[in-house]
């Protein structure tokens, strides 16, 4: 039996969240989605509030993952402790609240979701994601394992993909907000995409108002970054997984616009 798993790129700002709420469930019905993971770490621009986390979940996400801005809104710590569907990177320090991996039951299957953060060009004292993945894979049994790798360097994402090929069903990258065109199935059956892209304003620089980003690069004072206005896009990928073997059989990129 196949299961179609939808991974949705970083939700940016209130406008991105509104577009997710409007479009996620129709997309799930259209594509026959059995399980959905949404990265929500930029719902407030930097971080997300408990209310925004619940809105993403209520919009149709089975799991909400985070990244380097996980604690951009400090109040999210309590929610991370209270609910199992909200994950922060597992290789963060053990001193921060929450968990980075969970096993969820859907359609009689056990689905492991792992949230990791990269160390290349990210200013965070995170543990080794490769060793962290090894540890998490040794804890509990799952029919399907999914990895959201929140990382800057494409080389680090590709390398972790080869390292985990044959041991996880799918690995996708988040963080850069720009989708890549390298969707594929690795030699040992792992679905892969270097970056999903984002769910947020189309006319923007990574979700931010273009004029502010331009001013910053010109050496000016752009002020506090604000989310761009206008129509939004939802970007991500669908991974088709053979649940009997846990192997991915196909990857389809998604770019949904009004």
**117 with 92: CB under 8 angstroms?**
yes
- The CA-based angle 22-253-44, given to 5 degrees, is 45
Find where tokens 């971080």 sit. 47
**87 with 63: CB under 8 angstroms?**
yes
69, 150, 175, 177: the active-site residue: 69
Task: Tell me if residue 248 falls in helix, strand or coil.
Answer: strand
Could you please report the per-residue DSSP string of 167-190? Answer: TBSEEEEESS-S--S--EE-TTS-
Q: Is 69 part of the annotated catalytic residue set?
A: yes
Give the dihedral sign, CA 257/17/61/248: positive
Cα separation, 178 vs 21, in Å, equals 21
Find all residues with CB under 8 Å of 134, minimum gap 6, and list them: none
Question: Backbone phi, then psi, for 36, in 5-degree steps?
Answer: -135, 135
Supply the residues annotated as catalytic: 69
């Amino acid at each position: 039996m196949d299961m179609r798993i939808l991974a949705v790129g970083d939700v940016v700002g209130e406008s991105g969240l509104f577009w997710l709420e409007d479009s996620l469930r129709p997309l799930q019905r259209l594509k026959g989605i059995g399980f959905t993971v949404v990265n929500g770490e930029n719902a407030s621009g930097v971080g997300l509030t408990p209310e925004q986390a619940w809105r993403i979940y209520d919009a149709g996400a089975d799991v909400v993952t985070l990244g380097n801005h996980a604690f951009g809104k400090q109040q999210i710590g309590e929610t991370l402790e209270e609910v199992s569907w909200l994950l922060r990177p597992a290789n963060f320090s053990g001193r921060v609240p929450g968990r980075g991996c969970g096993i969820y039951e859907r359609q009689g299957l056990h689905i492991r979701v792992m949230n990791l953060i990269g160390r290349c060009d990210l200013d965070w004292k995170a543990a080794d994601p490769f060793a962290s993945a090894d540890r998490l894979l040794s804890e509990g049994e799952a029919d399907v394992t999914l990895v959201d790798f929140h990382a800057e360097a494409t080389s680090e994402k590709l390398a972790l993909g080869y390292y985990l090929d044959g041991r996880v069903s799918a690995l996708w990258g988040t963080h850069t907000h720009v989708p890549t065109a390298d969707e594929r199935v690795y030699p040992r059956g792992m679905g892969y995409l270097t970056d999903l892209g984002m769910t947020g304003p189309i006319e923007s620089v990574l979700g931010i108002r273009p004029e502010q980003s331009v001013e910053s690069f010109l050496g000016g004072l752009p002020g506090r970054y604000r989310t761009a206005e206008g129509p939004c896009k939802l970007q991500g990928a669908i991974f088709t997984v053979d649940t009997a073997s846990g192997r991915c059989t196909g990857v389809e990129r998604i770019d949904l616009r009004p």
